[in-house]
Amino acid sequence: MATATATAAIVALLLGLSGWRGAARDILPPGPVDAAVGKNVTLATLLQNPEYSFIIWNFNDGREQTHVATAGRAGIRVNEPYAGRASVDATSGALRLSALTTDDSGDFSVSVVSADGETEIAEIQLRVLEPVSGVLVSADAAEAVEHNSTLVLTCAANGSFLRFTWLNETRPVVASDSERLSVEESEASSRLTIAGVLRTDLARPIFCSAANQLETEKSAPFTLPVHYGPDEVTVTASDPSRFVRADSDFNLTCATRSSPAAAFTWYQNETLMDSAGPVLPLEAVRRRPLWREMSRYTCRAANAETERVVASPAVSFAVVDGPEAATVNGESAVELRDAVTLRCTAASVPPANFTWKFNGTLTDVKTPTYAIAEAVYKNTGAYTCQARNVVTGKNVSSTHNLSVKEEGALDEGLSDGAIAGIIIGILAALGVAIGVVVYCRQKVPVESPY
């Protein structure tokens, strides 16, 4: 009897080693079964109090098949390579393995041999997993330029049967979200390629998660600078008025989004100014020639990393000042019916408003010129011009005196020089005449009356 039993066991073993398959029922649950290195695992069966002559477990690592253990009426026998690590439950036929190593990963088959020699065989995969560790994200560049750079991020980790997930802070990065994104997977790493990098791609930390069936580990946050901009450049005035008081603290401020921060330069009517930085103070404007005049001011923002330069829209304003001292130019004296034109000037920005007074009485004239078509005696008097800057509120005035005289009163006589010349000429002629007379008297004999 013992000989027959041993013979049956050998036959069943040979059948199992040969990979023979008989009509099968559900002997094992679906796999794979995952377990950690150094831990224990039980490969359970679906058998309930089976009647069998032998239950035989074999292992195939993809290269060769090895006998693990056999359970029979004579007891349980464990093959030498698994001695001390393997056991079979005689009731259910389950195989228990301890102190697992990665070499235990493979296909385990169980052969159930009935008393009449019929054999049923089933397989299940065991995956012995190394723990996940050392999850690290690296990049192929230290920085990127928006729209210009293509960036490759690599996530590497230790462990078995790893799956990788990329996270933009907490949101999963899915390659199908954009034509710019692609992911390549390998057994121990994952590569995320970002073409035409945008600032939003790395605005938040990037994480990589590596996992297998047993555990998950997350990388440290990964950040990388993305240089961008300047974006649209704006200029804001501290006072929106087109007229700025010369003694105010007025300034223009230039702003834009840029990484790194943009460098700013200022232009007056397209001419570079000697002022740099985001703020243009009025003091810098007053150093310019013709600073009082209405001018166009623009700001240009430059990013040395992206090599982009963007100009702002122009802001126009000629600094309010004056009026300076007023001056009236015109005739001081005229004759009756002469035309008179008095002109008042006063440097002012914006241009001054003018009013005229005659002998202290306000007139209706509100232009820089006071005109009289034909002068009469009553036009004689004091003409006062007042210049007012409505923005600064400053007033200046100047008075001019006009005298109206009768016709011919202003005819110009001979000048002093001409008069002196005439007198000298007369005296010279007189001298010549006297000399001639004296000479003649000396030459002509005079008859004696006697």
Per residue in 327-383, pLDDT tens? Answer: 999 999 999 999 999 999 998 888 999 999 999 999 999 999 999 999 999 999 999
Q: Which residues contact 28 (CB under 8 A, 6 or more apart)?
A: 43, 44, 45, 46, 110, 122, 123, 124
Examine the domain organization and report whether 194 and 85 are in the same domain: no
The number of folded domains in the chain is 5
In the prediction, which pLDDT does 318 show? 72
Examine the domain organization and report whether 390 and 276 are in the same domain: no
Examine the domain organization and report whether 312 and 335 are in the same domain: no
Examine the domain organization and report whether 123 and 141 are in the same domain: no
- Phi/psi at 292 (5° precision): -75, -20
In whole angstroms, give the CA distance from residue 357 to residue 352: 16
Pair 56, 95: CB distance under 8 Å = no
pTM: 0.61
Pair 373, 339: CB distance under 8 Å = yes
In whole angstroms, give the CA distance from residue 111 to residue 54: 8
* Single residue among 265, 283, 317 that ends a domain in this structure: 317
Examine the domain organization and report whether 211 and 294 are in the same domain: no
Residues of the chain with pLDDT under 50: 1-24, 414-415, 418, 444-450
* Single residue among 78, 101, 129 that ends a domain in this structure: 129
Asked if the structure places residue 311 within a domain, the reply is yes
Examine the domain organization and report whether 251 and 141 are in the same domain: no
Examine the domain organization and report whether 101 and 165 are in the same domain: no
Examine the domain organization and report whether 118 and 30 are in the same domain: yes
What amino acid is encoded at 184 in this protein? E
Q: What is the Cβ-side half-sphere exposure of residue 287, based on CA atoms within 13 angstroms?
A: 9
Examine the domain organization and report whether 174 and 219 are in the same domain: yes
Any idea what the CATH number is for the domain that residue 40 is in? 2.60.40.10
- Token pair, residue 354, equals 């003018």
Examine the domain organization and report whether 6 and 27 are in the same domain: yes
Q: What is the pLDDT of residues 38-82, one digit of tens each?
A: 999 999 999 888 889 999 999 999 999 999 999 998 899 999 999
- Token pair, residue 105, equals 């990963």
* Single residue among 227, 251, 281 that ends a domain in this structure: 227
E strand segments, 306-373: 308-311, 315-317, 327-329, 333-335, 340-345, 353-358, 361-362, 369-372
Asked if the structure places residue 428 within a domain, the reply is yes
In the prediction, which pLDDT does 240 show? 84
Examine the domain organization and report whether 100 and 172 are in the same domain: no
Please tell me whether the peptide bond between 278 and the residue prior to it is cis, using omega within 30 degrees of 0: no
* CA distances to 63, 66, 106, 213 from 19, in Å: 13, 11, 15, 29
Asked if the structure places residue 410 within a domain, the reply is no
In the prediction, which pLDDT does 44 show? 95
In the prediction, which pLDDT does 18 show? 41
Asked if the structure places residue 42 within a domain, the reply is yes
In the prediction, which pLDDT does 151 show? 97
* CA distances to 345, 396, 404, 448 from 399, in Å: 12, 11, 17, 81
Asked if the structure places residue 322 within a domain, the reply is no
Asked if the structure places residue 352 within a domain, the reply is yes
Asked if the structure places residue 29 within a domain, the reply is yes
In the prediction, which pLDDT does 444 show? 47
In the prediction, which pLDDT does 424 show? 73
Domain span holding position 246: 234-317
Examine the domain organization and report whether 137 and 124 are in the same domain: no
Asked if the structure places residue 411 within a domain, the reply is no
The β-bridge partners of 87 are 96
